[in-house]
Every structure is written in C-alpha cells, then in structure tokens.
Structure 1
Amino acid sequence: MESAEIARRFLRFFEERGHTIVPSASLVAEDPTLLLVNAGMVPFKPYFLGQRKPPANRLTTAQKCVRTPDIDEVGKTTRHATFFQMLGNFSFGDYFKDGAIPFAWELLTRSEADGGFAFPEERLWVTVFEDDDDAVALWHGKVGVPMERIQRRGLADNYWHMGVPGPGGPCSEIYYDRGPEYGREGGPIADENRYLEVWNLVFMQAQLAEVRSKVDFDVQGELPAKNIDTGMGLERMAAILQGVDNIYEIDTTYKILDRAADLTRTRYGRDQRADVSLRVVADHVRTGTMLVADGVMPGNEGRGYVLRRILRRSIRNLRLLGSGDERYMHELTAVAIDVMGRQYPELVADAPQIHGVIDAEEASFLGTLRTGTAIFDVAVEETKRKGGQVLAGTQAFQLHDTYGFPIDLTLEMAAEQGLKVDEEGFRRLMREQRERAKADAAAKKTGNADISVLGQILERAGRVDFLGYDQTVAESEVAGIMIDGAAVPAAGAGSAVEIVLSRTPFYAEGGGQLADQGVIRTAGAEIDIVDVQSPLAGLIVHRGTVRTGEVRVGDQAQAEIDVERRRAISRSHTATHLVHRGFRNALGETAAQAGSENSPGRFRFDFTAAGAVPPSVLRDVEDEVNAVLINDLAVNAFYTTQREARAMGALALFGEKYGDEVRIVEVGDYSRELCGGTHVASSGHLGLIKVLGESSIGAGVRRVEALVGLDAFRFLARESVLVAQLSEQLKARREELPERVEGIVGRLRAAEKELERLRSAQVLAVAGELAAGAADVSGASVVTHRAPDGTSADDLRKLALDVRGRFPADRAAVVVIAGVPAERPVVVAAVNEQGRALGLSAGRLVGVAAKQLGGGGGGKDDVAQGGGARPESIGDALHAVRSAVAQRLA
C-alpha cells in the first residue's frame, strides 16, 4: 500500500465519522517559539491552549513535520528521519477515550476492502499509563484486547505534555509485533525493536501548572473540556504495510535512494558505509524538497540554516559515494517531487522554483567544498604535525565564517581523520559574532509579549477587522493594551505600548509591505503609532508611545493612518508586482519571487535565478514596466477561490500558503497575483520606475532595488546634473563620456602599476645590503629588518624570500622582515633548508614576533606571515626573534 493511499484511507475513515479534514500546515511554524513544525499537533496548539476556537470539534489531518536534533543518527538507524508525516485525529471537548480507542482499533483491523489497514488483531499490543484503569477497561471490555497484551507504563513512556504549563494527560500506544526474528517476546516493555509503535492516543484531561521535566510537574486540576490528540507516523506505517525493514525503503524514500545508487554506481546493501550515505541522501533530498516548497531559502541563520545543512549533507554524502563534482541534486529532487507530488500536488506546480533553489545551493556548495576542503586539509596536517588530537575552534570558525563550512560538516570530516573539534571554542566565537551583529526578526514580530497573552486577547476580543483597503480613518474600541509583553488595563503618557483595536485601518507589516504609521486618539489620550504587526492570525497589534493622557481598555478610539506614507508604500507594492511580471517575461517562470520590501518611494525585489542578470535585461524590464505605467492600466482587487485563482493564471508567491478564499490584485491584463497588500488605483499613479541595479544575496537568489514615483524622478534629476558637470569638466559631449572616462581610468591604472613596480624595486634594492649585513647567531645568518611604513605585505614577503635566496645552500639562514602596510604591523619570516634542518621554523618564529605585536600568525616551516595591533613594538618583536633563534640553536 503506497504512502499516498495510507494517508487517503486515514483521512477518509475519520471524515466519514464526522471529522473535518484540515490540509497540512506549512512546515514554517506559525508558533514564534518554533523554527519548524516538529510534531503533528503543533498547528493545533492554539486550540489546546484555549487561545483560539477550532473550526470544528472534530478534525483530522496529515501533517508535514521536520525534526533535526538527531540528524547525526539519520541513515545509521532504521527509524531516524528529518522529514516525516503524522496522521492524526483530534477532538476538542467532543469524544474522549471511549471514542478514540474504538476508532483506532477499527481502522487498524478493518479489512483493506472495507477501507482499513488489515492488521491481524493477535499481533497488536497496547500500553497504557500505569493508573489509567479507564483505558484498560475500554481496551479489554469494549475492544476485546486480551489482558496479557495490555501493559502499564510510567510517566516517562505514557504521559504527554508540551513541556510548559498547559494541557497534558495519559496516553495509550498501539504496537505491532513484527515477529520473533526481530527480537525477544514479552511485549513493548521487553523489546521495542520487535514491537513497533504505530499509534499514540493522548487523553488531554489535566491542567498542568509547574513543568520541571518530562516526569516532574504539578497537576493544577482537570481541564474544563477534555480533548483527544492522536498521532500515527505515516512512514512507519508504510514500512509495515509495504513489508520493508526500515523507513528508508518505503516508496517515497527508496525511489530517491535507488536513483542515487544508480547515479553514483553504488549497490545498496553491499557496503555499510555506502548504505548510510545513500540513506542520508534519500532522507535529506526529500526533506530539502519539502522545505523549499514551503518557502524556506538556504541561509546561515534559523530555518534557512536547517535547510542549508540538510542540502549540504546530501551533497557531501554524494561525494563520499563517488559523485566528484557531478551535479546530481536536480535529478534526485525530480524523483522526490514525483513521489511526494501524489500527496502534495503543489510540488509539481512549483517544481521550477524548487529546482532553481536547490540547483543553486548545490553549485555554490561544490565550490565551497573545493576551497574549504583544501583549507581543512592544511589545518588537519598542521594539527597532526604538532601531535594534536583536536582541531582548534578558531580553525572551525574560519571554515564556517569564511568558507561556508557548516560545523557539522567539519565535525564529520574531522572524525574521518581521527580528530575531534574544539566545539566550545567554535560556539564561543559564534556567540560573539551574533552579539556583534544581532538582528532578531522574531523579536520584531512578537515583541516581548508572551504568545499566550496575545492568544488571550484574541480569544476575548475576536478577530480584528482590517478596514484599510478603503478607509484611512476608522472609529474603533481599545480591546487590549500591553506594556513589556504583559496585559495592562491602562497606560499613561510616555509609556511604550502595544494596542489591539476591535477594527483598524492600519496595515500590519506582511507580504513585503511595511506597516502603516499614524495616530490613535481616545477621549483622554493620543498615541503615536510607529509599527503594526500581526503576531497571530487574526490579531493586529499597534506599537507606539502614549503622547498625552491615559488610554484604557474599553475606550472608544479613532484610528488614523499617515495617508502620504500609505500612498507611497502602495506605489512601491504595485511596482513590485509589475517588476515581478517583467522578470518572469524576460527570464522565464523560474524567476519566482523570494522576498520583497515595499517602502515609501523605493522597493526591493528578491527572486530565484541561476546567475547574475545582464544589464541589458534590467534595461528591458525597466522599459517594459514604464510602458505599463504610461498606459495607465486599472488596478483591481477581488476575492475568489484558490482553485479559480490558479485557473486564471494568478501568480501565488512561492512558499506562501493560502486559505480557500484568496485575494487577487490585477493590473490590467499585465499582472495578476494573489496578494493581501494595498495598491494604487491605476498604474499611472506610479509615475516612473527606476531600477538601480541587482546583486546576489545568496545561492540562487538575486535582489533588484528600484525607486518609484518622485524618488525615481529626483534620482534621475541628480544623475542628469552629475552628467552635465562631468561633461563640462572633461570637455566632452554626454555620449562621449563613457569612452573619455574609460581612457582616464586606464591611464590611472597604468600609472598605479608603474608606481607599484618602482616601490617594489626600491624595497628589493636593499636585499643585497641586508644579506651582506646579516648577524651571526650561533652559526646561522640572521637578518631582522623593519621596512619603511607603507610597504605592502606582498612586498615584505618578496623581500624576505629575496634575501633568503642570497645565502649559500650550506649556510643556515633566517630572515624576518616587519613593516606597517596600513595601520597594523605585519611580519614575514623565511627560513632556508639548512636552517630548517637545525630545527628552525618560520611558523614558530612568526608566532614569537606576533605575540610581541599583540596579534598572531603562522604558516609553514619555510615561510610564514603574521601580524598584530602594536606597530610601536616592532623593535621588541625583532629582538624576540633573534633571542628565539639563539635559544633554539644553543
């Protein structure tokens, strides 16, 4: 039975029993405390916590999940995976144990012809919480499970809670006996490899207060309404029903594994190490495909880093299988889209964009691997030469920060070389870097507010009505006030507040559009609003400062936005739609929007592309869009179903998830997109668009920045004045300026090269004199010299090597040259072969000098370079080198 059929049967069974089917939520968690959805119940958490009212009392779903804490175990065991799907049925104050238990048993044991999974009853075992006599009575008395196949377990195994105060309760698990060939008899408490868990039924009946650990918590009392939360792992169920030993061999994973084996000319099942790599590739390609489909882009932070790590582990394991520099991710992704597209048709529709992102990350990382591996090999060689067993944290950080090596890749490669990594040193450097460049987007979206506080306001006040499409001023009521994340009844002058209104014309930041600003007035207060966010669906939070008076919950209020700011932002938003269409026309449908920001007078537009966009294409898109403005096309917005929107060819932003009802914004027949933002009435209101340029912001993602309206006109006016000034100064017509400037720049570069040559010659001219004046230190010729300030580091190195080359081969020679190229000192050491034979090392001597300079450095035994921060200590540094040579030779 294929995975898609298993999911279909599950959902249909519960739909026939009064459950509403809820499509899988995006892997990008709405819960701001989570990066990704990691359990089937996560999208339903607000319902269990009482923050929102569920759409129905009975729900069922097949939810996508990603979990990575055990990523290092993927491929090594039969049960660890990063992507999995949870089939679940949920009851909110409707049926309880007496409904959930018979439902589960019926679906598992019913024949396939009748829509069930046909599990033999005699091979099913059940576990219950140790004192849950009600569950035992239902399993034995109502369902008929023999008492010897019902086992009681403690808190660690059969009690569930979220790890925080809230609902919790005992659970009951159903296990399948795979047979004596998989382990010993005795039920789940004896062997969970033989007895495989297939379903977990959670009976939420208690309100937990303090939660200290999995088994240590306080029960405050009974929940007013008892709930059911169940979870059946689709991949594990597929392994049983398809008769395979592990989840890597089921239909949606094995096809990827098999193709990876073909591409790398590997045979699955012959070599344990190769099998692990094939399983990692199969799991990670599927996970990466699903994450990209939900709009996650590779990055160095948050969920972007999770995706990048998963994709790069796939590529790395393909190389271990012998792929070399061949690019196989495109073909493997195509297999993943094919097998998962039967459950998630949007994968097929979004295939070009998914391929674009993953292909670009593969190309980027293959380049990173070539460079980073060479650096890694040098670090390993140096560590082993010194007799070390641990790769320094600074080296791991350099690999990560400079060459893009994820730390887990460094750990893997170090382990292959028999080395460990100073992870604590690496983590410390990472923490320091984050502190220097802190940008916590999550804090911007949720402020300091506890999500439960926001949920309580939403539950009490209901969804906030947004009136801003056609109103700039609106009468409303203050539904909630927060200061520092805590709900308060009132706030006085000078207070930084977050205010929730019952209805509002203020647009909350979203879809790339910046938030409105303005003012809220009550009979006794005036509040300046500088930001508006929607941290929970249906909730709009206004952030600002009470300018005068006191605002109280329940006050009647008038909300008024800054109209000129809104108009400018709306022009930018409409311009983004037009530029999006323009780039798709020019580059093809793979140029999918990957982000945007619509600010007053300017906007940026991010899109997927394999490489840089030629200037000619930028000009063509700009011309095409400005032609649309001249034609003054009408801008219309209307609501329809998602199916009808797709039939109309409306563009849906890649990675965004939409409800059944969607809003379409169309500009004549030129552009049609799903969008919740605000726009102008017609394209002519934009006036003018000026594209400033494009750049890369990550693998496979380009960014275009542009101006619109008066900002675009002012920019062109300044450009015109600048060109006129250049034309006057160079005594050339405007059309001659590029050629004239190119000639001047060429002559300037030639002059700079000649100056550099003369400087180098001047520096090297003293080489003979320095060699002749070498000091004899314990039988070795030693030269220590400070070059004139401004001598480049490259010239310092050339001088050191030139002087070293002037000594006879049978004479030990050490040359140390120091200088200050800019503001910081640099030191270069060179030791000839005879000197190295006596135990003298350029790397160690540079370290001695750099220590005096307040810095560090190193390199090979023959030549090395370092630096510091104290140029006034160069004399001390050179003296320390001479002493070190004397001490070594003595």
Structure 2
Amino acid sequence: IWNNVFMQYNRKADGSLELLPARHVDTGMGFERLCMAIQGKLSNYDTDIFQPIIQTIANRCQLTYGEEPKADIAMRVIADHIRTIAFSITDGQLPSNAKAGYVIRRILRRAVRYGYTFLGRRHAFLYQLIPSLIQSMGSAYPELAAQQPLIEKVIKEEEESFLRTLETGIRLLDKLMTEARGTKTDTLSGNDVFTLYDTYGFPVDLTELILKENDLKADLEGFQAAMQAQKDRARNAAAVETGDWVVLKDATSDFVGYDYTTCDVEILKYRKLAQKGKTYYQLVLDKTPFYAEMGGQIGDSGYLEVDGQRLIVETVKKENNLSVHITTSLPADPTLVFKAVVDLDKRRATSRNHTATHLLHEALREVLGSHVEQKGSLVSPDNLRFDFAHFQKVSNEELRMVEQKVNAAIRANIPLDEHRHTPIAEAKAMGAMALFGEKYGEEVRVIRFGSSAELCGGTHVQATGEIGAFRIVAESSIAAGIRRIEAITGEGADDQYFSMQDELKNIRALFNNSPQLTAAIEKLVSEHQEAQKKLEALMAERTLALKQSLIQNAKTINGVKLVVFEGEATPDAIKQIAFQLRGEQPEGLAFIAGSLDNGKPLLTVAFSDDLVAKGLNAGQLVREAAKAIQGGGGGQPHFATAGGKHVSGLKEAVNQLVASIG
C-alpha cells in the first residue's frame, strides 16, 4: 500500500555519496492509505473518508456511484478537491489571482469543470457539499464548523463567477477542437490556448486536461510565446530611455523624512531620462526629507533651492533601495548645497489618508471578519483606495458600520504609537499585521493607533483627530474574491458632504420642498415606469399595424414572399418585424427594409432558413448594398443590417436587394 523510500545518502555536487547522520524509511503511507488497508478497500475513495461526500454528490446529481466511469471519476475529483478548498479557506487562504490564492482558484475551477462536463451541473453546487464534509471531519477539525458560513459563501461566489465564463469558454474550445480535427491536427495552437486563458480565465492545465480527454494536446511553446508577446507589448508601451549616472560624490543616502520636512542636502549623482517624448532627471541626495513612493503611498513633492534658484521635485521613487528624485531640469551647478523643502500640504493630506487606511483595515476586520487581508492600496493626498480579500459585495449596512468605526477612532484622537527599528519577531509578538507576500528585513517599523497595529514605512498623522472626517465613496469588485473601497478624508470629506447637501436642496426644490422627499421620488419613478409601459404598448401596436400593412402589400416573386419597407422607423421596430415575420412564415420569406432613424439610413435583410439553404446570404447582400449609402455592415446568413450616411442612396440600395431575390 506504499512505496518505501530509504533515506540513506546525500549526493554531493561531484556525484559522490555520503551517509546521512540520521537514516530512515519514508513509507509515504498517508492517513487515506492506512484507512484503505484497515477497511479492506481497493481505493482510497471507497473508504469512509470520501464515501459520505461522494454519496452526497451522487444524490444531488441523481446518479449512482459505480455505474458510469466518467461520472465516477468526476465525483472522486470533486470529493478530493472540496476537502482541499475547504481546509485552505479555513486556514485563511482565499481564492485569488496571485500565488497561493491562484492555486486554490485553479483547484476549485477544476472541480467546477468536472461537475459541469461529466455531472451536468449548470449551477453552483460545490458549496452544498460542505455540511457533509463537516459531518465526517468536523469532530477532528472543529474549525470547519466554525468557519462554515465563510467557506460556503466563498465557494459559491467562486462557482457562480466561473460558471458565467465556463459555458462560453467550453463552447469556444469545442469549436476549436472540431476545427483542429477538421484540419487533421492533434494540437491546439498556442494563440488559442492563450485566448482561453486571457479572455475566459481558463488555467492552462484545465485546457490541457480537456484536450487530453479528447485525444488532443496544447501547443505550450506557442502559448508561452503569446504570453511573452503580451508582456513585450506592455513593456514597449512604457519604454524608457535612461542615461548613465553622473556620480558627483560617493556616499550613502539617508531618509530623514519622519523627523524633518526640510534640510540641507547635496546631490550624490544624477542621470537623464526620456519617456514619452519628455525629458526628466533623476537625482540621488546624501539625505532626503522626501518620502519615496512605496507601500501604496505616492511620493512626496517639493523643491530644492539655492541662491534664489528653485528646482521642482515632481515626485520621488524607490530604486535599488535609493530614493530617486524626479525633476524636469538640472541646477546650473549640481555640486552646491541645496535646501530641500517638502510640500507640507500634500504630505499632511497624504498622511491623513494613510492613517485612515490603517483604521479602515482594522474596521473591516472587525465588521467582516478576520479573513479580510490587504491585497493592495493607493494612498494619495486626494483620496485613498484599499483592496482586500472578501467573498461578496459589502452591504450598505456593513459599509455604514465600517465608516462609523473609523470616524469613532478619529473622534477619539488616538495618538501615534511608533516603534522604529523593531526586530521582526518582536513586532509580530506585538500583534502587528504584516502584508502577505511582502519581504521585511531584520528590523521593521510598527505603526499603532489603538487596536490597529501594522508593519509600515509610510507617513502618518501624530493623532487620529488630525484626519478630521472619513467618508466611503465607492465599493466595488476588481477580481473574484477581491473588493475595493475608495474613501476621502479631511477637507475632501467636508466638500463631499456640502456638495451632497446642496444637491439634496436642489432636488427638494424640484419637488416643491416636499417634506416627504423619498415618497415624492418613488411616486415620480412609478409614474415614469407606467408611462414607459404605455409607450411600449403603443409602439408594439404601431409595429403590429405596420407589419400587417407590409404583409398586405407583399409580393410573390418566384415562389418567394417578398416584404419590403421604406420609411421612418426605429431599428428595434424593424428588427421586431423581421423576426416576427420569420417566425410566422418559416419558409419562402424575404424581408427587405430601407429605413431612416433620426436622419440616418439603415438597411435590414432577413431570410427564412430554406432560402438560406438555397444560397441566399443576408450578410453578403447587405454588405454589398451598403456601398450605395456609403456605409457598411453585415451579419448572419438569415439576418443582417448595415448603416450609412448617404440618405439619397437608400432607394438604390433597396432596389439592389430586391433584384437579388429575382
């Protein structure tokens, strides 16, 4: 039931072997194999570890396990994968597009695809297996039951998201496989594999698996080439020409911006930079009060000054652990001592937003749960943006609770508790949150405001009261399992409040200062909807009357009922008539319309399927006729449209189409 691996030697670089100080046998047995042996089964999946889940799957799919090989494989795959997914989410790893999160997403999508293809599942159902998993493993792992709502919501959200693209992607893959067989090739091109990956979210291993099931393979080299070509396009779009460094002094560069916003500096080195037709210069100083863009916070701005000459510092970026100052010109004499001055208004506004980001992170974890993890941020003087792991839209009530918690912390005027040069182990012992995937040195900086504690190198207020006010302005999804909150603080929050007050006053004035404003708006919306329904009914009556008139005036040419319209009509009305006629007369129908909509000419052609089978192609005919109206268009063999700008050519185009029927 296992393969014994004798761990005895260490193979050195020269190929020689040396005995290990401790030698042992690795059986690779595993809990599942042990259960299989004890229970006298021939497969891990026949044990009581997997069978409860497999039987739950079979019952939900109205199948019997053991009757159909492909369905059995699918059930085994899903039973295995749902365990991995559930335990990973319990441990705090949510599906995402990066690193470990992407591994979980791929496993989940593979399970969804097996259910879709071999079990006929067109709706989310994996999340419904969690109670069965908890029933069999919950006593040994109580954290599964504790996290059940989170596990189910995350899996359901992922399933529904992937199913929306899966059907379209599989249809495309089926088409591509049919085309491949038609050209007598057993390989799907790299470009096609890349399209499935880039457009439909198909992991390459999923595409490979489906191809293998159909005795085909993927051109992985071509896929890598297509991937590299996309990266090259992105790189070329941001191409930068960089000159060599001109070194004035060989010395180290220090950041003093936590304590000073102005100081005397010297330029250590500089170089020229050309990007998108503009020339910039990069300067490295011996010390700098300017914060360099890092950790989501944008760089400081300001100026360098000497003898009345002022050199504007546009921004500061980090490069090879150096603060690089971006300017649009060089000083006349770069060897002088300059006074560096940070733009204080911008620094203070940015600091307010950075501290607010920390308070927001803490509030989100309190309201939504400890699974909330920062996935990205942008801190600027105007606003803040915070991306975080969460499985569903944050409700209005939850957003209000988060906003209230942040503002409560602001009103409490909590002082900054800063710990510089703190050993990383000590910082973690303090409860400081580290960003997943970030690399930290031996010593870190801890920023604490009350219960919020994070490892952070950014600039912050001295007390939360300096933020003034905090207001959430947007919440959205940026990827499956990743939400984004945008917010403003200080004067920006005040400005938004006054703007909303003014807008509310204007709306109230439109309703004659009604004390029941919401009711008045609801009444107006209801009346509008009712009027819209009446308008649609009237339009439907007019369309029906027009269709009946056209039928009465129809001509029969060579056994074909030819219905022609020329005049003013909306594109929707013409399309409705075309499809209604096709439904009412499935054989021997040709519909041709030359219509005007707001002065613009439009051609429409529709054929019954039997005429298409005889060789008539609406798309080809309308494309040729559109030349008369100086336009273009196309469509399918049974229905096509074309627009143009030459109204006087509309009659000629219609006559040309009518002639094609004869």
CA distance in 2, matches of 1:428, 1:765: 58
Deviation of the 1:519 alpha carbon: 1.1
Q: 1:424-469 CA deviation, whole Å, 9 max, x = no partner? A: 999999999999xx9769959xx5449xx68x989x9565311111
Q: Indicate whether 1:798 and 2:576 are aligned.
A: yes
CA distance in 1, matches of 2:213, 2:619: 27
Residue aligning to 1:782: 562
Residue aligning to 2:138: none
Match of 1:586 among 360, 363, 367: 367
- Give the counterpart letter for 1:815 in structure 2: F
Query: Any residues of structure 2 matched to 1:155-304 within 5 Å, and which?
Result: 297-298=96-97
Q: Indicate whether 1:647 and 2:429 are aligned.
A: yes
Match of 2:19 among 102, 111, 129: 111
Q: Indicate whether 1:751 and 2:531 are aligned.
A: yes
CA distance in 2, matches of 1:305, 1:645: 29
Normalising by the residue count of structure 1, what TM-score does the alignment of the two structures yield?
A: 0.56
Contact 1:604 1:705 in 2 (8 A): yes
Residue aligning to 1:598: 379
CA distance in 2, matches of 1:766, 1:422: 55
CA separation of 1:496/1:749 partners in 2, compared to 1, >3 Å: closer, same or farther?
same
CA separation of 1:777/1:566 partners in 2, compared to 1, >3 Å: closer, same or farther?
same
SS in structure 2 opposite 1:797? helix
Query: Any residues of structure 2 matched to 1:13-162 within 5 Å, and which?
Result: 104=13, 109-112=17-20, 114-115=21-22
Residue aligning to 2:38: none
Q: 1:588-628 CA deviation, whole Å, 9 max, x = no partner? A: 01122221111113212121211111111111211121111
CA separation of 1:591/1:296 partners in 2, compared to 1, >3 Å: closer, same or farther?
closer
Contact 2:633 2:640 in 1 (8 A): no
Deviation of the 1:776 alpha carbon: 3.7
Contact 1:787 1:796 in 2 (8 A): no
CA separation of 1:457/1:763 partners in 2, compared to 1, >3 Å: closer, same or farther?
farther
Contact 1:461 1:502 in 2 (8 A): no
Query: Any residues of structure 2 matched to 1:702-713 within 5 Å, and which?
Result: 702-713=483-494
Contact 2:272 2:280 in 1 (8 A): yes
Match of 1:864 among 639, 644, 652: 639
Residue aligning to 2:161: 364
SS in structure 1 opposite 2:260? coil
CA distance in 2, matches of 1:647, 1:310: 34
Deviation of the 1:816 alpha carbon: 3.2
Match of 2:287 among 497, 503, 506: 503
Contact 2:94 2:481 in 1 (8 A): no
CA separation of 1:877/1:303 partners in 2, compared to 1, >3 Å: closer, same or farther?
farther
CA distance in 2, matches of 1:820, 1:530: 54
Q: Indicate whether 1:882 and 2:658 are aligned.
A: yes
- Give the counterpart letter for 1:858 in structure 2: G
Residue aligning to 1:122: none
Residue aligning to 1:620: 401
SS in structure 2 opposite 1:584? helix
CA separation of 1:631/1:329 partners in 2, compared to 1, >3 Å: closer, same or farther?
same
Contact 2:265 2:285 in 1 (8 A): yes
Deviation of the 1:644 alpha carbon: 2.5
CA distance in 2, matches of 1:532, 1:823: 55
Q: 1:518-565 CA deviation, whole Å, 9 max, x = no partner? A: 1123569642111211132x211111212x74253x543332211110
CA separation of 1:524/1:625 partners in 2, compared to 1, >3 Å: closer, same or farther?
closer
Residue aligning to 1:632: 413
Deviation of the 1:707 alpha carbon: 1.3
CA separation of 1:613/1:822 partners in 2, compared to 1, >3 Å: closer, same or farther?
farther
- Give the counterpart letter for 1:802 in structure 2: Q
Residue aligning to 2:449: 667
**Could you list the runs of 5+ residues in structure 1 that have no partner in the other structure?**
14-101, 119-237, 245-254, 336-350, 487-493
Residue aligning to 1:764: 544
Q: Indicate whether 1:570 and 2:351 are aligned.
A: yes
> Aligned residues: percent identity?
32
CA distance in 1, matches of 2:642, 2:210: 30
Match of 1:544 among 327, 335, 351: 327
Residue aligning to 2:476: 695
Q: Indicate whether 1:480 and 2:246 are aligned.
A: no
CA distance in 1, matches of 2:247, 2:119: 57
SS in structure 2 opposite 1:657? coil
CA separation of 1:703/1:413 partners in 2, compared to 1, >3 Å: closer, same or farther?
same
CA separation of 1:655/1:398 partners in 2, compared to 1, >3 Å: closer, same or farther?
closer
Contact 1:814 1:831 in 2 (8 A): yes
Deviation of the 1:502 alpha carbon: 2.2
Deviation of the 1:648 alpha carbon: 2.4
Residue aligning to 1:83: none
CA distance in 1, matches of 2:491, 2:150: 34
SS in structure 2 opposite 1:677? coil
- Give the counterpart letter for 1:110 in structure 2: E
Deviation of the 1:817 alpha carbon: 3.6
Residue aligning to 2:35: none
Residue aligning to 2:611: 835
Q: Could you tell which deviates more after superposition, 752-761 or 844-853? A: 844-853
CA separation of 1:473/1:833 partners in 2, compared to 1, >3 Å: closer, same or farther?
closer
CA distance in 2, matches of 1:655, 1:694: 24
Match of 1:608 among 386, 389, 414: 389
CA separation of 1:312/1:366 partners in 2, compared to 1, >3 Å: closer, same or farther?
same
Deviation of the 1:641 alpha carbon: 2.5
**Could you list the runs of 5+ residues in structure 2 that have no partner in the other structure?**
31-43, 59-64, 134-147
Query: Any residues of structure 2 matched to 1:304-323 within 5 Å, and which?
Result: 316=113
Contact 1:848 1:881 in 2 (8 A): no
Residue aligning to 1:519: 303
CA distance in 2, matches of 1:423, 1:825: 48
- Give the counterpart letter for 2:267 in structure 1: V
Pairwise CA RMSD: 5.7
- Give the counterpart letter for 1:689 in structure 2: F
Deviation of the 1:866 alpha carbon: 4.3
SS in structure 1 opposite 2:436? coil
CA distance in 2, matches of 1:398, 1:824: 37
- Give the counterpart letter for 1:652 in structure 2: A
Query: Any residues of structure 2 matched to 1:422-461 within 5 Å, and which?
Result: 443=238, 448-449=241-242, 461=250
- Give the counterpart letter for 2:323 in structure 1: I
How many residue pairs are counted as aligned between the two chains?
604
Deviation of the 1:802 alpha carbon: 3.0
- Give the counterpart letter for 1:751 in structure 2: A
Query: Any residues of structure 2 matched to 1:359-438 within 5 Å, and which?
Result: 361-374=158-171
SS in structure 1 opposite 2:314? strand
